Amino acid sequence: MLSYQHAYHAGNLGDLHKHSLLAWMLAYLTAKPKPLSYLETHSGRGLYDLAAEASRKTGEARQGIERALDEGWLPPDHPLSEALATIRAQHGPTAYAGSPLIAQHFQRPGDTVHLAELHPAEHEALSRVASFAHLHRQDGFQMAQAVCPPTPRRGLLLIDPSYEIKADYEAIPRQMAKLARKWNVGVIALWYPILTDDRQARMVQDLRAAFPEALCSEVRFPPARPGHGMVGSGMFVVNPPFGLPEEAARIEAIFARLRP
């Protein structure tokens, strides 16, 4: 299928929720002098320009990261603010870092990064900015199942599918259970949309039953435009790092102010 393009949505409120928690976890994990693996199943192109037509067309970044920066939702020393400042210093004031470049910001010598992206054009764009990583042009779950448990064994896997087909929701709890069995010390983070028809609810219910100790952070926000189906964002984290519940609560409080 592969019709989804993240350039239309980069920097939206879902990205803000996902990327702020991701950056916080990477800052925490890389604060200890032990090597880390970062894996991502659905990487996107890595670098976005919020002044480009795709982004301006939806206006989603305006309601997300641009408003967050203008209104100081995140302190300047938040790990996402710091990662974005680095990206903008390198790529210009309208650049936005996808998750792979957020990971690059925290990468140290000895850390290993594996990125999967199946879409040919997105993979090609990713390959232009991700020489720091092992790139896989294959299904992200196949990559993760093949690489886990990774070396170094300490690490984080981000699963961020485009949810283009209903089967994605059904497959995820099965895939995550298999990955967690193979890699019982890995931090496994799943992003999902909260939709007006609650399509994600069964998946989240199954995940909560399979991983009762996991952290589930959900935020709600107004739809990007009238009739738009996404009204919130979720991050489900297996083996959450120490302190993540408190950080998730801080981020959730920011979003609570946006409720209509």
| Interacting residues with ligand SAM between 63 and 102 (CB under 6 A) | 98-99
| Cα dihedral 228→232→236→240 (10° resolution) | 140
- If one asks whether residue 60 binds ligand SAM (CB under 6 A), the answer comes out as no
DSSP strand E in the chain: where? 37-40, 47-49, 95-97, 112-116, 134-136, 155-159, 187-195, 215-220, 230-238
**Residue 174 CB: number of other CB atoms within 10 A?**
12
- Among the listed residues 70, 160, 168, 206, the single catalytic one is 160
Residue 198 falls in the annotated catalytic set:
no
Distance CA 37, CA 23 (A): 14
Distance CA 33, CA 91 (A): 29
- Residue holding tokens 């991502």? 40
- Residue holding tokens 């283009």? 164
Return the number of the residue (158 or 248) whose C-beta is nearest ligand SAM: 158
Q: Which one of 30, 37, 43, 55 is in contact with ligand SAM (CB under 6 A)?
A: 43
Q: For residue 228, how far is the Cα from the chain centroid?
A: 21
What's the token pair of residue 57?
């067309």
Helical axes 13-30 vs 244-256, angle rounded to 10°: 160
> Interface mask (CB under 6 A) for ligand SAM, residues 101-130, using x and -?
---------------xxxx--x--------
| Cα dihedral 101→150→22→224 (10° resolution) | 80
Span from 41-49, 170-178, 208-216, 226-234 in contact with ligand SAM (CB under 6 A):
41-49
Q: Which one of 30, 37, 112, 162 is in contact with ligand SAM (CB under 6 A)?
A: 162
| Shortest distance (Å) from residue 34 CB to ligand SAM | 25
Rg value, the chain, Cα: 17
> Interface mask (CB under 6 A) for ligand SAM, residues 178-217, using x and -?
----------------------------------------
Return the number of the residue (34 or 57) whose C-beta is nearest ligand SAM: 57
Return the number of the residue (71 or 139) whose C-beta is nearest ligand SAM: 139
| Shortest distance (Å) from residue 212 CB to ligand SAM | 26
Distance CA 231, CA 104 (A): 30
Q: For ligand SAM, how many residues bind (rule: CB under 6 A)?
A: 19
| Shortest distance (Å) from residue 241 CB to ligand SAM | 19
Return the number of the residue (28 or 141) whose C-beta is nearest ligand SAM: 141
**DSSP code of residue 8:** G
Q: Which one of 64, 79, 140, 173 is in contact with ligand SAM (CB under 6 A)?
A: 140
Contact 37, 89 (CB under 8 A): no
Q: Does residue 42 have a known ligand-binding role?
A: yes
Task: Give the footprint of ligand SAM on this chain (CB under 6 A).
Answer: 2, 4, 6, 15, 41-44, 98-99, 116-119, 122, 139-140, 160, 162
Question: What are the residue numbers of the active site?
Answer: 160
